[in-house]
Amino acid sequence: MKAVTPPAPARTRERLLDAAAELTAGDGWAAVTMGKLAAHVGVSRQTVYNELGSKAELAEALLLRETERFAERVAEGVAAHPGRPADGVTAAFRGSLEAARTNPLLLIALGVRQAGRDDFLPLLTTRPEAVLERSVDAVAALFAGSYPDVGLTRSEWTVAVEVFVRLLLSHLVQPSGSVAQASGQLRWVIGRILGA
């Protein structure tokens, strides 16, 4: 009989985060317990605590993972439009908006969709620096490095990116049209900022 190799710690952590996102989407954040998470993944409660720490640390890990995914989508949009900042920023915005509109955890976090007895919104509003500031800083650095000829300083890119992120969140919380319409609005805004 062949011995089964236990999953690598990073893989266990990802499985736990996936399960936590699934449980939150289905039953709400209040219903997520370390014991339920352990049973869902098939590991011990101690493994959950070792990998993720407290429930507050789990919440932060979930939100930071979504932030990293957001930054990856932005990077893909920028990479597809070298030397064309208005197009790159617009593509990044559109890709992020499309992905966010189908992400149950993010929709719950923003209060767009309810799950179970509560929502995930307080985790965003009580510690916004964990998500908003990291997102803005990472994306501003990416735009500044990818589009140096634009003439915006790093701090100016930071202001512009915060406006873009807030516009993205607004379109998620209260959509007024299609993704294409929202992207068109942002294209106009970024075009005016960049003079493109």
Domains of the chain are 55-194 (1.10.357)
Q: Is the pLDDT of residue 124 over 60?
A: no
Mean pLDDT calculated for residue range 25-49: 90
Mean pLDDT calculated for residue range 22-30: 83
C-alpha to C-alpha distances, 44 to 36, 40, 51, nearest whole angstrom: 10, 10, 11
Q: Is the pLDDT of residue 39 over 90?
A: yes
Per-residue tokens: 11 = 């893989």
Q: State what percent of residues in the chain have pLDDT above 90.
A: 33
C-alpha 141/C-alpha 138 separation (Å) is 5
